Chains A and B, each alone.
Chain A
Amino acid sequence: MESLSNKRKVIESKPLNFWERIYLPAIIQGLAITMKHFFRKPVTTRYPEERREYSENFRGMHSLKRDEHGAERCTACGLCALSCPAEAITMIAAERQKGEEHLYREEKYAAVYEINMLRCIFCGLCEEACPKEAIYLDGDHVPSDYLRKDFIYGKDKLVEAPLNQ
């Protein structure tokens, strides 16, 4: 049957001729190819000193955003946790008390908000699910560490730095 993609190739295997059987021409050809690579510019980027250019929509570490007054936008609705395919996000909600209006924008906020960076796959679905524009994956790489427990990032690492008044 005719293939639809039209990419089919018929390979015929002929017995090697004399020059192929003595290997040497092929070996010299191979040596020439590797020698060409020898003088080629290395593709390496020396990572900590040099950095590759990242794309505009690179997804790195999460940050929990604040609004224009410096109050946390997150309202602990849990949609991010629900949308997370890796189940990396968990939170405990709390009610805003009187006098905390400058800290939290809505009446409900996340008292504890944890992301397990070893589970996270940086898909960005939490960002899409968030109705309050509170979470963005706009950070850097997640740095390496020694213990698994240290990869569970709490609000201390996730929340944006407070605005300077």
Chain B
Amino acid sequence: MELADILIKFALIVIIFSISLVIAMYSTYAERKIAAFFQDRIGPDRAGPWGILQPLADGGKMFLKEEIIPANANTFLFIAGPSLSILTACIGSAVIPWGQKLTFGTHVVDLQVTDINVGVLYILGVVSLGVYGVMIGGWASNNKYSLLGAIRAASQNISYEISMGLAIIALLMTTGTLSLREITEQQHGFWSHGWFTWNFFRQPLGFLLFIVCAFAETNRAPFDLPECETELVGGYHTEYSSMKLGFYLFSEYINMFVSSAVMATLYFGGYNFPFMHQLGLLENWITILGIVALFIKIFAFIFFFMWVRWTLPRFRYDQLMDLGWKVLIPLAIANIIITGLVITFFK
């Protein structure tokens, strides 16, 4: 690897990192605005025009707040919790292909940090690491509500990871690869051989299972029981204040961004968009339009996350477990069997 390549990779990492942070920042603003619109209000509009400086004001406030570490909390773990949470949220985006390769003369820039051949497994691994931050923080707080929230988070994530994994297995049976780049390449364009190329149209049930599990894994409503404020004060982050609380809230939004990107990549063709080769554009322009297409898909998913949050009430805990174990897992297994039968008899 040449020095230039290393520098380009480094720059790409920094860009993706800052994009995910900025998107997470503005997701908080978008959430408040969208919540307001759904409730016939106008939302924050004081900081800057239309309130677009609100995230900066919120961030500044978070940094200036008093930092409280409870006397009986385990200080090391108390700090490790939110740090781990935001770390695992940020590293998930490493395997997502953001676009096709850009060509500058002889240089080819790969718009993906790393194309490991077990990309899907990597994402599953990072997702399951994500719950450690919540668990450690809830445990270290030495508060019963935090502990309950942490236990809820742990059992919820374990339950929904199973059906998420099973939903992905059915997808992998059709793609035959774990590399996200190859999965995206297989969904090239929009239409070929008389059927849609995007995986959503091959695995609609799998996608439904995946998106339900994604809601549960990111602790978003209607599965936000770990931070269920009506029952557990603040859930796992009851004892947190200042920027440590900010990190927890922030990692939720980064998780949302990353899982939207994963869903767009796995099921909605990633950077592919309809008629990408009929437009007669240069290859680099198609790549750039592809990046735009991917981000439009991601924003659509983020909007959907928020839309659902302001529509559905929270599940009861037993309903959550019922849904996870008695509905989603059997459905996911059935999906695998149907996929297997279709592959066996029609290919």
Contact = CB atoms under 8 A, between A and B. Distances in A.
A35 B34 CA distance: 10
Contacts of A33: 311
B39 interface: yes
B229 interface: no
A38 B45 contact: no
Contact of A31 (B39, B40, B308): B308
Interface string A14-32: 0000000000000100110
A33 B42 CA distance: 18
A37 B45 CA distance: 19
B310 A34 contact: yes
Given A31-B307, A31-B311, A37 B37 contact: yes
A31 B34 CA distance: 13
28 contacts: A27-B308, A27-B311, A27-B312, A30-B311, A30-B312, A31-B308, A31-B311, A33-B311, A34-B310, A34-B311, A35-B307, A37-B37, A37-B38, A37-B40, A38-B34, A38-B37, A38-B38, A40-B40, A41-B40, A42-B36, A42-B37, A42-B40, A42-B41, A43-B40, A43-B41, A44-B42, A46-B42, A46-B45
Interface in A44-78: 44, 46
Interface in B1-46: 34, 36-42, 45
Contacts of A30: 311-312
A42 B40 CA distance: 4
Contacts of B38: 34, 37-38
B34 to A, nearest CB: 8
A31 to B, nearest CB: 5
A116 B310 CA distance: 42
Contacts of B45: 46
Range of interface residues on chain A?
Answer: 10 to 19
A38 B36 CA distance: 8
B50 to A, nearest CB: 12
Contacts of A38: 34, 37-38
A34 B307 contact: yes
Range of interface residues on chain B?
Answer: 10 to 19
B42 A42 contact: yes
B134 to A, nearest CB: 26
A33 B39 CA distance: 11
A46 B34 CA distance: 18
Given A31-B307, A42-B42, 19 more contacts: A27-B308, A27-B311, A30-B311, A31-B308, A34-B38, A34-B307, A34-B310, A37-B37, A37-B39, A38-B34, A38-B37, A40-B40, A42-B36, A42-B41, A43-B40, A43-B41, A44-B42, A46-B42, A46-B45
Interface string B308-322: 101110000000000
A125 to B, nearest CB: 36
A38 B42 CA distance: 10
Contacts of A42: 36-37, 40-42
A6 to B, nearest CB: 32
Contacts of A46: 42, 45
Q: Top 4 A-B pairs ranked by shortest CB distance?
A: A34-B311, A42-B42, A30-B311, A44-B42
Contacts of A31: 307-308, 311
B41 A44 contact: yes
Contacts of A35: 307
Nearest to B45: A46
Nearest to B308: A31
Contacts of A37: 37-40
B204 to A, nearest CB: 12
A20 B314 CA distance: 17
